[in-house]
Structure 1
Amino acid sequence: MATAVGTKAAKAKQTTMAQAINRALRDAMAEDPTVHMMGEDVGTLGGVFRITDGLAAEFGDDRCTDTPLAEAGILGTAVGMAMYGLRPVVEMQFDAFAYPAFEQLISHVSRMRNRTGGAMPLPLTIRVPYGGGIGGVEHHSDSSEAYYMATPGLRVYTPATVADAYGMLREAIACDDPVVFLEPKRLYWSKADFALDAPQTVPPVGQAVVRRPGTSATLITYGPSVPVCLEAAEAATAEGWDLEVVDLRSLVPFDDATVAASVRRTGRAVVVHESTGFGGPGGEIAARVTERCFHHLEAPVLRVAGFDIPYPPPMLEKHHLPSVDRILDAVARLQWESEYVSGGGE
């Protein structure tokens, strides 16, 4: 079922993703007194990216709380809050800042519901600004989604549009399972026509969306790489390629049906993401596509990913991140592979 967002009729206006996330937090806190926001600098400052701006002033610092710089303590406290009936929303200030909290995440957050035989849900949302594209240094630009995906018991969402940023965060906060909500930093200032006070509908979390239909090949992507893939798809038309772009939106749960249906139509697929290639999400996605679409594939499933290195210095990140040129190179290889396979070349 699609999720309705917004409450009153209003004219759509240009809204940033940051504003949509802020409004999602504000609306959730206004509607449910058990929702609490907590993290480093989220109160008076409004967060490094000003995502929580105004929340402490409106709801008080007991519901939008500045915490010590102790990620394990922040998340451990949130676990206790969730066990006692609250719905905490935790902000990990930057992607790699979340690593000190991994013990809490893996040992407790992900296991509590299973550990109690389903008797104790853990309605906890962990907001993580992630990914590159802003000129950040090491520990400020990681793509750590593979860690979360590989941890059973966690849901992993990542929006690529303003509407999804609002609707998916509202669903995450309302969910009784723990959700890692990955927010693409480079898209915080992206804009779209979105009336924050108007009823709107977004697809339910767990359902992928075809952002651009096509017939020649499928680009499978999510989060910060969605706009790059759309740009590549437009550029590919000059080469006679009609590329379909599938936005996964949710990494866990994964929408095999939409992805497989797209690849069966096009016969070719490229997975695009900022995370590393080795051990990254693309390997799992490529395996799932191959298992479900083997007899429809005209070429191997390819990947365009970040290189297998720690995140590079800001001046070099443009070479590290998936780009239009790297995606088009993969598409050209798909064409060669298709001709090689169909032609029986050696």
Structure 2
Amino acid sequence: MKPTLIIIVIFLFFGCKSKQEKPFDSDAILQERYKKIADYQVDSLNFPRSYSFKENTVNKVGSKDWTSGFFPGNLWQIYELTGDVAFKNKAKIWTAFVEKEKYNNRTHDMGFKVFCSFGNGLKHEDNQNYKDIIVKSSQTLISRFNATIGSIRSWDFNKETWDFPVIIDNMMNLEMLFEATKITKDSMFHNIAVDHANTTLKNHFRNDNSCYHVVDYNPENGDVRMKVTHQGFNDESVWARGQGWAIYGYTMAYRYTKDAKYLAQSQATANFFINHKNLPKDGIPYLDFNDPAIPNAPRDVSAATVVASAMVELYQYTKNETYLEYSKKIINTLKTPEYLLESTIDAPFILKHSTGNWPKKDEVDEPIVYGDYYFLETLLRLKAL
């Protein structure tokens, strides 16, 4: 073989090998994903909620949708992670679009919408307008409180079946009420949040410390009418994200109250979650721990990120290293090609493989905005340690 040909062969071999072995740079991919979030077209009527690979489209919603607060929240959190004021400026624009929801009394999701947006903004500037919006939103939310039951009503639909449904997700909206008391010094908001947490603690949990999705009450006497699911596999199955709302919700409630029973429940449900025989080795749960399609059932990254964020805080109260290890494991798992959305996808999201509403076959195995939100929050909480 001629010397020149040998050189060419060697160059091609090692050149291709070098290209193949180029390490995956998760931080560079994250920066690209952040930029796509910041560059997303500003539109007060179209908050990005999820992305369909099949249709190659972004699913957009109005501010009344329960997820509207997450996108501005993501921008606030990316600003905190990067220090780049461009993200803050975009966050302020998108946050303002949520304000009209402070009057929306037809939903319990005020915390998701208003506190994930304005609450995050308040961390970065002492804005009286943001405080006023949080207080007004809290006043609107507690208009759904029933003192006989001791809970805030979740949904208004399906009235032919439910009288007063309360979902485990509703625990997440209590953070805004706790903060409203801190802002106003009016204990009413705090007390209603405690009543709701106590009623949920009494009725939502099974003996194994997993939780139901929906508990329906008789508004006349407070009796439990039924315990069912709306998003899990069946009424007695264990919907993964619901367990995340429970772990996060009671850890957060402990932060504001220092009530030991809240911390105990959070730990018990966390232990149930991380020790479950059907939790995959990489820590990303199937959408339901009892789905008979396992191991071929859809995963839910959003459930993993909610739990990961909660467990960083839970670790701070318990010093149980197992909780911190789970959170770090999830971040390491998600910062891989399997879960990070490719830089070539022109959509304002970060992670793949979340599942929204499996029974309706809606947003199954897709990037979803709240999966990103709690991923970013986990990064910030780990950084704060």
Would you say same fold, with TM above 0.5?
no
> Which protein has the bigger helix share?
2
- TM-score interval, smaller chain: under 0.3
Higher relative contact order (CA 8 A, sep 6+): 1
User: Max radius of gyration: which structure?
Assistant: 2
> Which protein has the bigger strand share?
1
